[in-house]
Structure 1
Amino acid sequence: MSRVRRRTRTAALAAALALMTAGTIAASQSATAGVTSLGVTSLGASPAATDLYVDPTTQAYAAWQAASGTNRDLLAKIALTPQSYWIGDWAGADQTRQQVADYTGRAAAAGQTGVLTVYAIPGRDCGNHSGGGVPESEYARWVDTVASGIVGNPVVVLEPDALAQLGDCDGQGDRVGYLRYAAASLADAGARVYIDAGHSGWLSPSEAARRLQLIGFTDAVGFALNTSNYQTTANTQAYAEQVSSQVGGRPYVIDTSRNGNGSNGEWCNPRGRALGERPRFVEDGTALDALLWVKLPGESDGACNGGPAAGQWWQEIALELAANAHW
């Protein structure tokens, strides 16, 4: 089982956080050059890069650059934290390949690990706020297009909600087969694949394990939990350890992007939430590989609770998440 162990913060991060506290974070050139999360030393089959990559093209980064005063300080907490790059069916094949190559290429050039979230399964989200996905006949080709753009060895979170929603609606096609194919294609391209398995408030540990075993771990490294949700890290890790014990001790990653105050039972733009722990690779004696920010804080879950459409920037809730953070 792979592991990475922690070391002290890099000088770049220490400098960035000091400036952030003073409200005078250095201009975009510093972050573009690679302001990092907690540094780690890689072991075993873990990614060779020792830091997670900060993407200066996010909506949060643009909002931070345009802000001033207190808002700028708060938005820096989001903008300068490594987050996942989501790739889906909203672009044509050439653009999809280019986007993947650009993001993973920048991360690799910086000597850091990028995180990709692959999100285009047929029947995605059962037609709800994030409904869509590519046609059943096109999924394998689409995944191969994504794989063809991969540079280096990014972490990939594979198809949020797809396994947890298995059988919940029509139009899913051979979802198990699609996920198996995607794991193989992306792993062959160098990605470190974690199959999304919902969250601790969704499936029982035994059911999550059963569904993960349908896909198998011939190509995927492990599984991902809490993507875009709010379950606490402690509860999620306790749940994940139960799941892991039933799938051969496979490792997992946890999305901590918005779980700082835990869940209030809502999933779509709940108020009063907070940024969670900063992303980092982990060695704590469990099967936990990393804490990640998979969901991009400040981007709406959908047109609910006063929010804009899914994926659109919502500055009001971004500031709320940052202000409520316990760090």
Structure 2
Amino acid sequence: MPSAAPRRRLHSVLGLLLLLVTAPACSGGPAPAPGPPATPSPGAPAAESPYWVDPGSRAARQVAAWEAAGRNSDAQVLRRIADRPTALWGPGGDPGPAIRRAGAAARAAGRTLLLAAHNIPYRDCGGPRPGGAANARAYRDWIGAFADGIGATRTVVILEPGALAHTVDGCTRAEQHAERYRLLSEAVDRLKRNRNTKVYLDAGDPASVENPADLVTPLSKAGLEHADGFAVNVSGFQPDAAARAYGARISERTGNRHFVIDTGRNGAGPPPGDGARSRCNPPGRALGTPPTDRTADPLVDAYLWIKPPGESDGPCHGGPPPGTWWPDHALGLARRATE
């Protein structure tokens, strides 16, 4: 009678042969021949960013134009902007159609839409040609259309850059403050009715607000309690550490509220000099930390490019009107970037 050991060896060999024969069937049949690598969607952001990249942005169109003209080296550098997510600023007329189009694309890509709402009355300090909605009623209609355009899309909204900072820097007249706080608070509530929308009230930056504690009461009156947090350094050039320290000082006075930081143009730090002109299209600036919600910081929810890099601040330092795409300026920001 054969011993138990030979039988065990025989069973082991048979089991191994059976495993080798049946393995292909377990994986769905023989492995297919290798094919070309998958091409990512034109609007897909980098793996570390959850935000939608607009494949038709002005930076993306500039890349295509330069490639068609044979400026391939410049086009490749400009991809540092074109291939990364930047905020869409809702147009001042009817913002609904543009937001709905972007929202549909973001949902199709499985990404989060990044928006900025910037249409508060007396937006530009109430100068001779103030921007923004004509009055409170017009603003309520506008923010309603803005929120309706978002719908169920997963979205982050930066609410009214500059609006609260201008209530403490003397730019907005005192008799306009109460209305502004009321409109912002109403806007927060309206946007938060969308179940997938996060809202961050803008809270200026160290270059515009000397004492961040001055913003605590305005933020409270503007509905911070119902928002997801606040934003700092929007359109600014303060480095990450300075912006973070500024935000932390506000956070500790507002119940440890979280915040986001605009890093689109802060890679080289603030420009030299003081005053508004030194912060308007300053030369020598660079892209900053790429957009991401992986900050490893318990207070900072995200680094975002809120002011689209490459858009002019206004007719200063050789720039075109505010909001105009400026290819050479964009290329300079991208060339000086370290990423």
TM-score under structure 2 length normalisation: 0.79
CA distance in 2 between counterparts of 1:61 and 1:131 reads 31
Q: Quick check: 2:237–2:266 contact (8 Å CA) kept in 1?
A: yes
Partner of 1:255: 262
Q: Quick check: 2:291–2:302 contact (8 Å CA) kept in 1?
A: yes
Q: Please list the CA deviations of residues 39-68 of structure 1 after superposition, one character each: whole Å capped at 9, or x if unmatched.
A: 4xxxxxxxxxxx111111211110011113
CA 258–131 in structure 1, closer or farther in 2 if over 3 Å, else same: farther
Give SS of 2:52's match.
Answer: coil
Q: Aligned letter for 1:155? A: V
Partner of 2:143: 143
The residue correspondences of 1:98-109 to structure 2 (distance < 5 A) are: 98-109=97-108
CA 200–102 in structure 1, closer or farther in 2 if over 3 Å, else same: same
The residue correspondences of 1:12-161 to structure 2 (distance < 5 A) are: 30-36=40-46, 38-39=48-49, 51-67=50-66, 68-89=71-92, 91=93, 93=94, 96-127=95-126, 131-136=130-135, 137-150=137-150, 151-161=152-162
Partner of 1:169: 172
Give SS of 2:157's match.
Answer: strand
CA 37–132 in structure 1, closer or farther in 2 if over 3 Å, else same: farther
CA distance in 2 between counterparts of 1:87 and 1:66 reads 25
CA 108–231 in structure 1, closer or farther in 2 if over 3 Å, else same: same
Q: How many residues of Structure 1 are paired with residues of Structure 2 in the alignment?
A: 285
CA distance in 2 between counterparts of 1:236 and 1:312 reads 26
After TM superposition, give the deviation of residue 205 of structure 1 in Å. Answer: 2.0
Q: Please list the CA deviations of residues 74-123 of structure 1 after superposition, one character each: whole Å capped at 9, or x if unmatched.
A: 1100000111000131x3x3xx2111111122112211111100010001
User: In terms of mean alpha carbon deviation, does 198-207 or 309-318 score higher?
Assistant: 198-207
Alpha carbon RMSD of aligned pairs, Å? 2.0
Partner of 2:190: 185
Q: Quick check: 1:37–1:52 contact (8 Å CA) kept in 2?
A: no
Q: Quick check: 1:125–1:165 contact (8 Å CA) kept in 2?
A: no
CA 313–209 in structure 1, closer or farther in 2 if over 3 Å, else same: same
Unaligned residue ranges in structure 1 (runs of 5+): 1-25, 40-50
Partner of 1:201: 207
Q: Quick check: 1:255–1:294 contact (8 Å CA) kept in 2?
A: yes
Q: Aligned letter for 1:79? A: A
Q: Quick check: 2:267–2:337 contact (8 Å CA) kept in 1?
A: yes
Q: Work out which of the residue numbers 198, 216, 230 in structure 2 matches 1:223.
A: 230
CA distance in 1 between counterparts of 2:45 and 2:155 reads 17
Instruction: Determine which structure has greater relative contact order: mean sequence separation of CA pairs < 8 Å that are 6+ residues apart, divided by chain length.
Output: 1
CA 80–128 in structure 1, closer or farther in 2 if over 3 Å, else same: farther
CA distance in 2 between counterparts of 1:207 and 1:250 reads 16
Q: Quick check: 1:87–1:118 contact (8 Å CA) kept in 2?
A: yes
CA 179–56 in structure 1, closer or farther in 2 if over 3 Å, else same: same
Q: Aligned letter for 1:34? A: A
Give SS of 1:143's match.
Answer: helix
- Look at both structures and tell me which one has the larger radius of gyration over its CA atoms: 2
Partner of 1:293: 305
Q: Quick check: 1:130–1:302 contact (8 Å CA) kept in 2?
A: no
Structure with the bigger percentage of helix? 2
